[in-house]
Structure 1
């Protein structure tokens, strides 16, 4: 058996900003997970800084990249599929097909030398945030919901995305847990307001855990990407959901602390990679009782 896990990331590539697929890649690499990044867009910088430069990856290019990866035999040894930002609906349909190929290949090729027995599909449904709402087209948001979430082993929305996907009002913690459980798969929800703090919630059919921490002002972009990748790395390392949640949130908070200490405009994912392994803070998850 190969000793190294491999992740296939389908998301944005942003040259000058530590966000999107590039952020996911660096966090997973710090956990000794090899990565293959298929870009959905090629931007110069995060749009939050201004006009990003670049643009979407054209459909034929996107499909060509996937074909090259497939021809190399890498889909057979893909342990993690992580989806993020998409520029058009066609990319989403292609990604859904790739997920099916990865799963089918593992079933058919019993002797494949992959790290994990089964692939782990994680959908980060990047489509919007409060207070601005959707920042992708309604068609893209609908395709993520219809084509990708149904194929996911874990979904990682922010609070706005959870409400948009489920169509449910999210008025308190209990309603958030009920909405997450309505997705019928494990869910990691970020950006929860919690008594003046901010929280991250993990929910599956049997348990619900919340980690809350003080808000850190002027956090760089990319914390959601880092959080998702950090949680994946802990699950792949064998942690239970509670421990993975605690470690992932602590690692993300630690990255922001380093960024503030160094006055860094972006997450210092390379220079501060040590805090991904040994966070600067310890956070304790609380069980959420909904009955």
Structure 2
């Protein structure tokens, strides 16, 4: 077997900002995971800084990059497919097709020398956030919901995205857990307000775990990308959901702590890479029991 896993990342490439696929790639690389990043957009900077420069990757080019990866035989040894930001509905449909190829290829090619017996499909349904709402088109949001989530082994929405996807009111922790379980697959929910703090919740059909940490006055963009990628690295290493939750949230918090300490406008994923494997804080998840 190969000594290291392989991940296919379908998300944004932003040259001067630590967000999107670049964050996913660096977090996974730090954990010893090889990565292939297929960009959905090519931006100069995060739009939050102003006009980003660049633009969406046209569907024909997106498909051509995927074809090159397929022709090299690398879809057969892909252990993780991680999707993030999309700029076009066609990209979503192409990504769904790639998921099917990866899963079917592993079943057909039983002797393939991949790291994991089965590939893991992870959908970060990047659609929007509170209070602004959707920041992708309604068509892209619908395609993510209809095409990608049914194929996923893990979905990682923020609280707004969970509500948008499920169409359920999220009024308390119990309603959030029930909404997550209605998706019928493991879910990692971020950005939960918890008594002046922030929570991250893991839910599957058997268990639910919550980690809470202090708010930061200002955090760089990209923390959601870092959290998802870190959680996946721990799962791929064979850790259970509780440990993966604790370690991934602690690593993300540690990155923000370093950013605050150094007055860094972006996540210091290179300079502070050590905190991804040795977080500065220890967080304990608590079990969530529904009455």
Q: TM-score range by the shorter chain?
A: over 0.9
Aligned residues: 291
TM-score after normalising by structure 2: 1.00
Q: Separation in 2 of the partners of 1:232 and 1:216? A: 24
1:140 Cα deviation from its structure 2 partner: 0.2
1:216 Cα deviation from its structure 2 partner: 1.1
Counterpart check, 1:16 vs 2:16: yes
Aligned to 1:48: 48
Matches within 5 A, 1:25-64: 25-64=25-64
> Which structure 1 residue ranges, 4+ long, deviate > 6 Å from structure 2?
none
Aligned to 1:191: 191
Q: Separation in 2 of the partners of 1:181 and 1:220? A: 30
Counterpart check, 1:68 vs 2:85: no
Where 1:38 maps in the other structure, the secondary structure is: strand
Aligned to 2:113: 113
Query: What RMSD in Å do the two structures reach over aligned CA positions?
Result: 0.4
Q: Separation in 2 of the partners of 1:46 and 1:81? A: 23
1:119-167 CA-to-partner distances (Å, cap 9, x unmatched) read 0000000000000000000000000000000000000000000000000
Q: Separation in 2 of the partners of 1:256 and 1:102? A: 34
Matches within 5 A, 1:221-236: 221-236=221-236
1:277 Cα deviation from its structure 2 partner: 0.1
Q: Separation in 2 of the partners of 1:208 and 1:157? A: 15
Counterpart check, 1:125 vs 2:122: no
Aligned to 1:172: 172
Which ranges of structure 1 fall in alignment gaps of 5 or more residues?
Answer: none
Q: Separation in 2 of the partners of 1:56 and 1:173? A: 37
Where 1:201 maps in the other structure, the secondary structure is: strand
Aligned to 1:265: 265
Counterpart check, 1:216 vs 2:216: yes
Aligned to 1:290: 290
1:246-271 CA-to-partner distances (Å, cap 9, x unmatched) read 00000000000000111110000011
Aligned to 2:252: 252
